[in-house]
Amino acid sequence: MRGNVPACTVKVPGTLQEALEVLAQEPGLWRPLAGGTDLMVPFAAGRLADTHFLSLQRLDDLRGIETDPGGITFGALVTYTDLRRHPYVQRHLPNLVQSAKVTGAVAIQNRGTLGGNLVNGSPAADSPPSLLAYAAQVELTGLGGSRWVPVEAFFTGYKQTVMAPFELLTRIRVPEPDAGFHFYRKVGTRAAQAVAKVCLAAYARVEAGIVRECRIGLGSVAPVPIRARAAEAAILGRALDALPVAAARAALMADISPIDDIRSTAHYRRTVAGNVLVQALSELVDWVNIQS
């Protein structure tokens, strides 16, 4: 344990209002702390500069999951275990169940939160690709009020987001997708406890053999989790029986900008991201054939 434990101060607000007041009074000083599964690692290693923590453990309002005819709204403190078990998520958002399932293992899933996974801003996080594929939005709340931001616009750079130092990420909203094709694949060193080398989530809707809706989210292939807009454009409006798979794969190379790091190489990530996209498109075609 190399973290400077005695130097640390922790506040444990009982309400969201109290938490926001602390952030507003000294913006940037207080580091929000949810389940700790990300923050405690660099902290214990002495690699975290923060000494002031705002523990969100008593903000039970941020633990709820609410469904309505248009979709589902998660409190930021909803855990991966909560996601895996929720019947609506299992039924309508299978990619999110998959994301939760491959995040760490049971003990991490019990503590890690959906809000934390976003705020941490890691390009390798497991849930953002699914949230991107489902066109999710996040609610950022400050003392002055709340604003909703699409997940696609949330990340601005490596571990950087649009969230202001006086704001908290409070809710995540996912619109209910129409019946369609869902795909999620994380490629890591092993099935559990691994950080992704490449992660791809996709949602597509097909009508009369034509791809009418298609969103693809990727992780670990750019400084931030990204939408593969060029690959999506190559597929959108095209007939399934003449899907331009090679063109989509080539377009994906323009969407991504992977690097060499301790987990993988840029070359491997390009190759595998392309392979996984091809797998997704092939499964899409199979899925439609089974439906009809």
Partner 1 sequence: MDEGRMQLELTVNGVRRAVPVLPMARLLDVIREDLGLPGTKEGCGEGECGACSVIMDGKLVNSCLVPAVQAQGSELLTIEGLAQGGTLHGLQQAFLACNGAQCGFCTPGMVLASVDLLNRCAHPSEPEIREGLAGNICRCTGYVKIVEAVQAAAGTVRP
Q: Which residues in this chain contact partner 1 in the complex, by CB under 8 A?
A: 1, 3, 5-6, 8-10, 12, 33, 35-37, 40-41, 43-45, 53, 55, 57, 81, 104-108, 110-111, 191-193
Alpha carbons within 13 A on the beta-carbon side of 258: 26
* Closest distance to partner 1 from the beta carbon of 281 (Å): 28
Distance CA 177, CA 229 (A): 19
* Closest distance to partner 1 from the beta carbon of 74 (Å): 19
Cβ proximity to partner 1, 184 vs 203, nearer residue: 184
* Closest distance to partner 1 from the beta carbon of 67 (Å): 24
Cβ proximity to partner 1, 193 vs 289, nearer residue: 193
- Indicate the DSSP class of residue 282: H
Strands 198-207 and 181-187 turn out to be: antiparallel
Cβ proximity to partner 1, 56 vs 206, nearer residue: 56
Residues 203, 207, 210, CA angle at the centre, nearest 5°?
A: 85
Could you give the 3-state DSSP secondary structure of residue 29? coil
Cβ proximity to partner 1, 10 vs 143, nearer residue: 10
* Closest distance to partner 1 from the beta carbon of 58 (Å): 9
* Closest distance to partner 1 from the beta carbon of 85 (Å): 10
Cβ proximity to partner 1, 101 vs 249, nearer residue: 101
* Closest distance to partner 1 from the beta carbon of 119 (Å): 16
Cβ proximity to partner 1, 44 vs 239, nearer residue: 44
174: nearest Cα among 61, 96, 280: 96
Q: Is the dihedral of CA 204, 205, 210, 212 positive or negative?
A: negative
Strands 210-219 and 160-161 turn out to be: unpaired
Cβ proximity to partner 1, 1 vs 179, nearer residue: 1
Distance CA 239, CA 226 (A): 25
* Closest distance to partner 1 from the beta carbon of 10 (Å): 4
Cβ proximity to partner 1, 8 vs 288, nearer residue: 8
Strands 210-219 and 198-207 turn out to be: antiparallel
Instruction: Calculate helix-pair angle for 245-255, 266-291, nearest 10 degrees.
Output: 140
* Closest distance to partner 1 from the beta carbon of 188 (Å): 12
- The answer to whether residues 199 and 192 touch, using CB atoms and an 8 Å cutoff, is no
The H or E element containing residue 23 is helix 16-25
Q: Tokens representing 178?
A: 């129409």
Distance CA 193, CA 13 (A): 32
